[in-house]
Amino acid sequence: ETALAAVPGIEQAAVLAREDQPGTKQLVGYVTGRVDPATVRAAVAARLPEYMVPAAVVVLDTLPLTVNGKLDKKALPAPVFGDTRTYRAPTTPTEQNLAAIYARVLGVEHVGIDD
């Protein structure tokens, strides 16, 4: 949270270890302010080891609070993991087989050659 809060443009920051898919825990950063999530991840990655960098950064207008003024962790939205780059399909039979295996293991619709 301290590394996220140090990024210019971030007003508030919170980090949670989420398990949206059983057996897969990931750090997710929640921030307020006018920032780009990819820029925030890059700035944090320059300061912290990879295992401490949030897998996703979600920008919110405000952090949800309980009636007691504490962070309402249950009200934080799940991150949407989407490919921000263009998808490039596998071209060779080997690439197609590997992409199919990775897609099945990761539980995603498709895996491109750049993934």
5: Cβ contacts below 8 Å, ≥ 6 apart: 12, 13
Higher pLDDT among residues 57 and 107, named by residue? 57
User: Full-prediction pTM beyond 0.85?
Assistant: no
Summarize pLDDT for 58-102 with one digit per residue, the tens. 999 999 999 999 999 999 998 877 555 577 888 999 999 999 999
3-state class (DSSP) for residue 2: helix
Specify the amino acid at residue 76: L
Mean predicted confidence (pLDDT) in 5-18: 95
Query: 43, 24, 35, 32: which is closest to 81 by C-alpha?
Result: 24
Q: How confident is the model at residue 19 (pLDDT cuts 50, 70, 90)?
A: confident
**What is the CB neighbour count within 10 angstroms for residue 45?**
14
Q: What is the rounded distance in angstroms from the CA atom of residue 3 to the CA atom of residue 65? A: 22
